[in-house]
Amino acid sequence: MKEIKFSLVYRDMWQSSGKYVPRKDQLAQIAPVIIEMGCFARVETNGGASEQVNLLYGENPNQAVRTFTKPFNDVGIQTHMLDRGLNGLRMNPVPADVRELMYKVKKAQGVDITRIFCGLNDVRNIIPSIHYAKAAGMIAQATLCITYSEIHTVDYYINMAEQLIAAGADEICLKDMAGIGRPEMLGKIVKSIKTAHPDIVVQYHGHSGPGFSVASMLEVAKAGVDYLDVAMEPLSWGMVHPDVITIQAMLKDAGFKVPEINMNAYMEARRLTQSYIDDFLGYFIDERNKYMTSLLVGCGLPGGMMGSLMADLKSMHAAINSFLKEHNRPELSTDELLVMLFDEVKNIWPKLGNPPLVTPFSQYVKNIALMNVMFLIKGQPRWGMIDRNSWDMILGKAGKLPGKLDNEIIALAKKNKFEFFDGNPQDNYPNELSRFIAEMETNGWDRGEDDEELFEFAMHEKQYRDFKSGEAKKRFEIELESAITEKLTKQHIELPDIRAMRYPHAEPVIAPVSGKVLWELDFIEHSQVPVHGKLFKQNDTLCTIQTKYGFEPIASFCTGRMVGVEKNQGEMVSKGQVIAYIQQCNC
């Protein structure tokens, strides 16, 4: 009787639902209850964007990681994290010395396993991390980012797994980030790996968005998988992962040996998780992430980015409908625009070299598709706006694309006089740790236990500075207040003059021209758009308005903090309307 073990992806449950993750005190509260459930051999405790998110709301991520891992360490439940290979724990590439330090820090903090992936499936970005992780004493779990195309075949993934195992990977993970891997295909990949390497542990991670993942779990179980990633209510299903109860029942009926679930503890963990949602996290969870959709089968976008996608779509929706209205054309519903976006992703994905749609490349493809939709609606050609990060992907600076670029894209790159890169991506990002050490010494900042504060500064420079200065905490409090007010307003709760109540001492920023408001020109994960709570000096650029004749920068009329925003990214503003509110200060 084959034994299947479960891993609770508690971190990813939150990240696939909304923007923020539980606080340190909440993690300390839930950990003993997860242990009491008695059914988890592993728990995902950190990694991905979660530590950046801690910084964004003013909490020290190192303390959060240590707090969450210790109870599991004490009882022998393995902890694991998610890391992005060349990108470490952020969206953009990381110098080699900072990457190497990460594994030493995370091992010291109590993390047993690191799940290393490259969004392009370029093994050159994964293999150095395998070596760094093993040198630090961690289990190196190398990852296959699963997607579905003519290029991403069973043989493609088997060949990739063989390269990673030859390089020293202890385990292999099938990371089915959009849940679009077909069950039979996944079973064949697992069977091949386990037949050739019976001692290599294989773990399957599949999001539930398009609905394949339950069938996929049964197939990989029959093929010899060792661990399955599961979730639990109230953050299972939807764009997240299947619930442990369903998967346990299915496998038990199929004759597998699976652990029993302490249902009293399950219900308590369910209650506690819901209390965190009710506390503050729920204000940042998009309701649409609670639902599954077969629309993802065609476009292949991952469930974990649906929150940011819907936020971007909402902003673009207003701008597009404003244009259509001006030109006496029928306005589009959100659903109509969503289908157009998914179709455009499906159309341009092979032209961009079939990058697996996982962070950060899913965001890049989505951003290009979103801008293309806007240009097409306006009767203009595609590819009118491609941001710098997307160009880096196209040009090969982040790694080798799995497929071939369309001739149209190659011609556009040459027209812009961009050069393609086919070397080792790490060579583009030289070591930087000495710079951060010197600045910490100058500032009198403690490098932290096991150099963990040094690592955090080097990995998330901007966010760490805002955390140290207190700006992040102030900004989050304003953001939370705004989210609460927005929810109350949507619920039609009468508030006597919400704006006056929220901004009693602020002055409005008035649009001098009509056009589209751009707080930032690039869409990036967890970007502060709009910049609630940010300090501006007099004459600093607040935002830019895209007019018919060009771009009009809007300067701050005083030194003060942004305390309210009336126009979001991409929304249209008319001359004389309020864009935002600034509260003057003597900072």
Q: Is the pLDDT of residue 304 over 70?
A: no
CA 307 and chain centroid, separation: 9
Least confident of 107-121, 309-323, 412-426: 309-323
Higher pLDDT, 92 or 164: 164
> For the chain, how big is the Rg over CA atoms in Å?
24
Average pLDDT over residues 451-466: 97
What pTM does this model have?
Answer: 0.82
Q: Where are the beta strands (DSSP E) in 167-319?
A: 171-176, 201-206, 227-230
Instruction: Using the Cα atoms of residue 70, residue 73, residue 79 and residue 85 in order, give the sign of their dihedral.
Output: positive
- When pLDDT is cut at 50, 70 and 90, the band that residue 186 belongs to is very high
* pLDDT at position 263 over 90: yes
- Helix, strand, coil shares of the chain, percent, nearest 5, are 50, 15, 35
CA 158, CA 533: separation in Å to the nearest integer? 49
Q: What is the greatest pairwise CA distance in the chain?
A: 73
pLDDT at 551: 79
Q: What is the model's pLDDT at position 97? A: 98
pLDDT attached to residue 550: 74
pLDDT by residue (tens digit) across 44-83? 999 999 999 999 999 999 999 999 999 999 999 999 999 9
List Cα–Cα distances, 110 to 88, 104, 230, 587, in angstroms.
18, 10, 22, 41
How far CA 380 is from CA of 313, 327, 375, in Å, comes to 19, 15, 5
Assigned token pair, 506:
């602020």
Instruction: Tell me which CATH homologous superfamily contains domain 5-289.
Output: Aldolase class I (3.20.20.70)
Alpha-carbon 330 to chain mean position = 34
Strand-by-strand arrangement of the 535-536 sheet: 507-510, 578-584, 560-565, 535-536
Q: Domain locations in the chain?
A: 5-289, 293-426, 435-467, 472-584
pLDDT in tens, 466-485: 999 999 999 998 888 888 87
Does 295 or 586 have the greater pLDDT score?
A: 295
Please say whether the beta carbons of 22 and 279 come within 8 A: no
Q: Is 380 helix (H, G, I), strand (E, B) or coil?
A: coil
pLDDT score recorded for residue 301: 79
Structure tokens at 5: 């073990």
Q: What are the backbone dihedrals phi and psi of residue 49, each rounded to the nearest 5 degrees, phi first?
A: -95, 0
Q: How far apart are CA 259 and CA 77, in angstroms?
A: 14
Helix (H, G, I), strand (E, B) or coil at 40: strand
Higher pLDDT, 480 or 141: 141
Topology (CATH) of 293-426: Cyclin A; domain 1 (1.10.472)
The stretch 148-169 carries a mean pLDDT of: 97
- Selected from 3.40.50.300, 1.10.287.70, 2.130.10.10, 2.40.50.100, the CATH number assigned to the domain covering 472-584 reads 2.40.50.100
Residues 433-459, mean pLDDT to the nearest whole number: 97
Determine contact, residues 30/22, Cβ cutoff 8 Å: yes
| Cα gap 573→319, rounded to integer Å | 9
Residue 319 — very low, low, confident or very high, per pLDDT cuts 50/70/90?
A: confident
C-alpha 473/C-alpha 233 separation (Å) is 29
CA distance 515 to 502: 26
Angle at 369 (CA atoms; ends 367, 373), nearest 5 degrees: 120
Residues 6+ apart with CB under 8 A from 462: none
Q: How confident is the model at residue 482, as a pLDDT? A: 82
**Count of CB atoms within 10 A of residue 314's CB?**
16
- Specify whether the CB–CB gap between 232 and 264 falls below 8 A: no
Q: Average pLDDT over the chain, rounded to whole?
A: 90
